[in-house]
Amino acid sequence: MADVNMALKQAQATYEQAQQSYEKFNQKYREAKQAVLSAQSTFAGVQTIGDRTTIETSSQLLKNVQNNLDRISANLLVAKENVKAARNNLENAKKAVELEEKNHQPLKQPLYTTILTSYGDIKITKKNKPKSSHERVAKEQKDAPVKMTRAEYRQKLNEHK
């Protein structure tokens, strides 16, 4: 039971980490997308009024920013899949804890057994099992004879003679 609870805690922590990682990559993606839009507008402005060197530099900057956006986008997809996997692991760990709890509960057994025969169904009533020793009530032993040692018995016999 402790192993299952430990796995549940670990799955919860992993899920939270994956969620934070996804949110971080999502924020980076938004920033990179803004950088691409900014670089595109800069490149468009430079093309109309800039010289060749400025256009090449702006073009290279735009390519670099777009490559960065592509990498961040790929990382974002991986982070999204990690969140899904962590969520599945967390759900499985919760189910494992529930099953473990159910497995440690006593089974409800029917009071009779049914046997199917060609003559019909036969129901056999089950006998109650004796209670375990810690549940038994100690019987008073008033009727039981008093036990004595051999020496005490001889002494009693000699007294009666």
- What would the two tokens of residue 150 be? 């051999």
Question: At residue 113, what are phi and psi to the nearest 5 degrees?
Answer: -110, 135
| Average of per-residue pLDDT across 111-127 | 74
More reliable by pLDDT, 25 or 150: 25
What is the pLDDT, as a whole number, of residue 128?
62
Q: How confident is the model at residue 127 (pLDDT cuts 50, 70, 90)?
A: low
Query: Most confidently modeled of 53-62, 95-104, 133-142, 151-160?
Result: 53-62
How far is CA 55 from its chain centroid?
56
pLDDT at 108: 64
* pLDDT at residue 2 is higher than 90: no
Backbone angles phi, psi at 121, to 5 degrees: -85, 135
Write the pLDDT tens digit of every residue in 52-109. Answer: 888 888 889 999 999 999 999 999 999 999 999 999 999 998 988 888 888 876 656 6
Task: Give pLDDT, residue 51.
Answer: 81
Distances (CA, A) of 102 to 3, 5, 10, 88, 90: 16, 14, 21, 21, 19
For 28-50, the pLDDT digits (tens) are 999 999 999 999 988 888 888 87
Let me know: does 79 contact 25? Beta carbons within 8 Å: yes
pLDDT value of position 110: 62
pLDDT at 84: 92
Q: Residue 126: phi, psi to the nearest 5? A: -85, 145
Domains in the chain, CATH or no CATH each? 2-103 (1.10.287.620)
Contact criterion met (CB below 8 Å) for 50 and 58: yes
